[in-house]
A and B are shown apart, each in its own frame.
Chain A
Amino acid sequence: MAAVELEGVVKTFGAVRALDGVDLTVEAGEVHGFLGPNGAGKSTAIRVLLGLLKADSGRATLLGGDPWGEAAELHRRIAYVPGDVALWPGLTGGEVIDVLARLRGGLDERRRAETIERFEFDPTKKCRTYSKGNRQKVALIAALASRAELYLLDEPTSGLDPLMEKEFQQAVLELKDEGATVLLSSHILAEAEALSDRISIIRAGQVVQSGSLAELRHLTRTTVIAETARSAAHLAEVDGVHHPRFVGARITFDVDSVHLDAAVQALAPLGVRSLSVHPPTLEELFLRQYGEEATA
């Protein structure tokens, strides 16, 4: 059973269509990267899943239940970290962690202690004195310290330093080992690439691509750089080859992943002296998605 399902979800704010028919499936036990630039609708989609916003149309399912109608019951089984954490200025970080975990319905003392240590967090300070990164840690620790079936993380690492970012990634992998499901919204692509089993890319309120990283790569182009003994000029004629560039004996071209075999076949008789092939990084996938849409 899928942990999260959105089908054709529409949410408008006045004239703005924040979600314009979003389809999203997160399978139980996977880490699902939810990618998109600022304002694409990531947070709105998550808030619909939390039952904080009511979808205008479409269907949302969270752990098999209705997130609007059964919010409180479902929330006992999930943990949420917003991207911009606001805390009560007069409470200490430690108090907030306890309050949020208890309101969720339980606190794992051992995990609380471990997570506080892992993130090198001082729980005795008043929240008004915490930096953005430290406020983020409060929400992260509160979420990680309670055992949940599903973690909804909305840009959870904004403001964290690289060391803490690494600890966060480790923590997410541990959650996955325990069998939890994670929906990780992010615009830090390296983070999503390192953690995600599957990825959905959202743009202007619609999910434009969804699948495993391998599947997404397959849909796009691989970059090939080769140095050949004989001229490779006719490579430009091969199906699926794009933008061939020639510098001396070296050719650089992009090829649709489905035509990679034909391109390599065409190179082979030319006396290949060096060859490097690299699949698109997630960043290239992402930029291409937006670049193409922008020029279309």
Chain B
Amino acid sequence: MSSPFTGTRHLVRLILRRDRWILPAWIVGLGGTITASALAVPSFYDTPEKVAGYAGAVGTSPVSHLMSGRQAGIDTLGGIVANEISQVAQLGICLMVMFLVVRHTRAEEESGRAELVRSTVVGRHAATLAALLYGVAAALVIGLVTTVSMLAVDLGLLGSVTYGAGLTLLGLCYVAITLVAVQVATSAREALGLAGAAIAVGYLVRGVGAMQDNALVWVSPFGWAQRMDAFGAEQWWPAVPVVLLTAALLGVAGWLTVHRDFAGGVLPARPGRPRASRFLGTPLGLTLRLQRGLLIGWAVGLTALGLLYGAVMPTIPDLVASNPDIAEVIGASPDVEQALTDAFLRYIFLFMAAASCGFVVTSVLRLRAEEESGRAELVLATGVRRTSWMAAAAVVAFAGVLLLTLLMGLGLAVGYAVGTGEWDRVVEHVGGQTSYLPGVLVVAALAVAVVGLWPRRSLLAWAVVAFVVVQVLLGETLRLPSWVDAVSPFSHLPEVPVEDFDPVPGLVELALAAGAVGWGLWAFRRRDVTTP
């Protein structure tokens, strides 16, 4: 008997075999970070005074609300742990299921391997179901690891289970969202873009809702998961909308699977230009054209992020006024508002700089995709020098992230001005964001070096990004040893605007970045080009 799901079991086994390193890497990386944080936090809050202090400071901080939402039971150890890990755990689980699901659906179709598999006895929905089961299983493992590590520090059974369940449900919801994105998109990259945008929107909507303390929280799966109120008055009914949305999305994904062609998208392909524009005849022009979509997508996303953060910034004084606790903790001086706004800005600058590391590494690692597909061979068999080919990619990544940095700063300034009518902060915001750029360029340069030196270990470049993000988001929670903090390029840059700008560390980092790029180019000239 064959059903639309025939062969699912074999596909799941194939997925597990292919991901025997990738899945454990996600679980160890993400689960390990969550566990380490959960284990580290309680020792810092070992007296009721310290717990109360956290609740007073962080629990009322608009930055914390924007980034981590309003965590229930923030005046208990459980709430503190949940609040500290929530950013990495929630964003991490969503990104994990997104990458895993796209990898085994759209990317497989694109490579042509899926065609081979589906010509065997495999039902129409088997591939979708296999990816669903796989994504859900991965989310379950992360949820379980989180619950267990919370139990390991005696955070209470009900709270720990509720938190882990909320996290897993969030992952489940984004598995379904990704499965729809996969059907709508015409390529794996487009699917990643759509699903990534859905994660960003869900995260930001919850953040703004929590910051302003309004109903927006209930528009986002992030909000639903959090409003299960682990470590507060646990309630399980917010799981209902998550499950309903997931079921509806799976229905849509199933319907789309039936109504589109294999390897096609919902939107039909249009005819294009029969001739290349003059601009395309150089390695730089070609690279720019190939990364146009990537750059536009990131530019739109990060500009919107800047606008949003800029728009909420003016509300900080009001939030302080309505919350005498903050003043109590920081000190009741007229500078309190300024200090809070500076701290907010500094964190936003750092957060957006870390986010833009995602762009530079994606951009630089396109070199590897070009090599592995055989397209690099086609270009390098023409009159293009290897160094020109690689340098073109580095230029696009560096110039691209410079553009993104300016746009993020401008977004902040414009968002701020729209709310306040004050247009005189543009230089301050753009300059402040740019002061963090050297750190991003170091990450980009390391990616170039990896491509030149260890082409088959290009995931190392993503490990650098993962480290930087964890250091930025969790560095204080984990109380990393100072030498570990020192590895991050952002640790050495002045904390603008909390500290005054100092050009020296940035210039030193630029020199290091130039050296790493040179090293990568040198190594690439001396190695074999990877051919398929």
Contacts and interface: CB of A to CB of B under 8 A. Distances in A.
B528 interface: yes
A128 B271 contact: no
Contact of A129 (B269, B281, B374): B269
Interface in A35-74: 43, 47, 50, 52-54, 71-73
Interface in B475-532: 526-529, 531-532
Given A52-B529, A95-B280, A125 B271 contact: yes
B392 to A, nearest CB: 11
A50 B381 contact: yes
A105 B110 CA distance: 32
Given A75-B382, A90-B290, A126-B272, A103 B283 contact: yes
B378 A85 contact: yes
A19 to B, nearest CB: 13
A72 B383 contact: yes
B280 A86 contact: no
Contacts of B374: 82, 84-86
A86 B378 contact: yes
A52 B275 contact: no
Interface residues of B, number: 37
B378 A54 contact: no
Contacts of A188: none
| A interface residue count range (under 10 / 10 to 19 / 20 to 34 / 35 or more) | 35 or more
Interface in A120-172: 123-126, 128-129, 139, 152
A47 B531 contact: yes
B293 interface: yes
B425 interface: no
A54 B375 contact: no
B235 interface: no
B383 A75 contact: yes
Interface string B377-398: 1111111111000000000000
B187 A128 contact: yes
Nearest to B270: A126
Contact of A87 (B276, B280, B375): B375
Contacts of B276: 91, 94-99, 102
A71 B529 CA distance: 13
B273 A54 contact: no
B380 A52 contact: yes
Given A98-B275, A124-B274, A89 B187 contact: yes
Contacts of B260: none
B289 interface: yes
A181 interface: no
A139 B378 contact: yes
B212 interface: no
Contacts of B381: 50, 52, 75, 78, 80, 152
A98 B273 CA distance: 11
Contacts of B281: 98-99, 102-103
B420 interface: no
B470 interface: no
Nearest to A106: B383
Interface string A253-296: 00000000000000000000000000000000000000000000
B87 interface: no
Contacts of A32: none
Contacts of B323: none
Contacts of A80: 378, 381
Contacts of A152: 381
A86 B373 contact: yes
Contacts of B528: 52-54
A124 B271 contact: yes
B531 to A, nearest CB: 6
A76 B269 contact: no
A198 interface: no
B151 interface: no
Contacts of A126: 269, 272
Given A102-B280, A128-B186, A92 B383 contact: no
B85 to A, nearest CB: 39
A52 B286 CA distance: 20
Contact of A128 (B269, B289, B526): B269
B289 A71 contact: no
A46 B286 CA distance: 25
Contacts of B272: 91-92, 94-95, 124-126
A225 interface: no
Interface in B368-427: 373-375, 377-386
Contacts of A129: 269
B239 to A, nearest CB: 40
Contact of B286 (A47, A78, A84, A99): A99
Given A72-B386, A98-B280, A128-B186, 9 more contacts: A50-B377, A54-B527, A75-B384, A85-B378, A95-B272, A100-B379, A102-B276, A103-B286, A103-B384
Interface of A: 43, 47, 50, 52-54, 71-73, 75-76, 78, 80, 82, 84-92, 94-100, 102-105, 123-126, 128-129, 139, 152
10 contacts: A72-B385, A86-B378, A86-B532, A94-B275, A94-B276, A98-B280, A99-B280, A105-B383, A128-B187, A139-B378
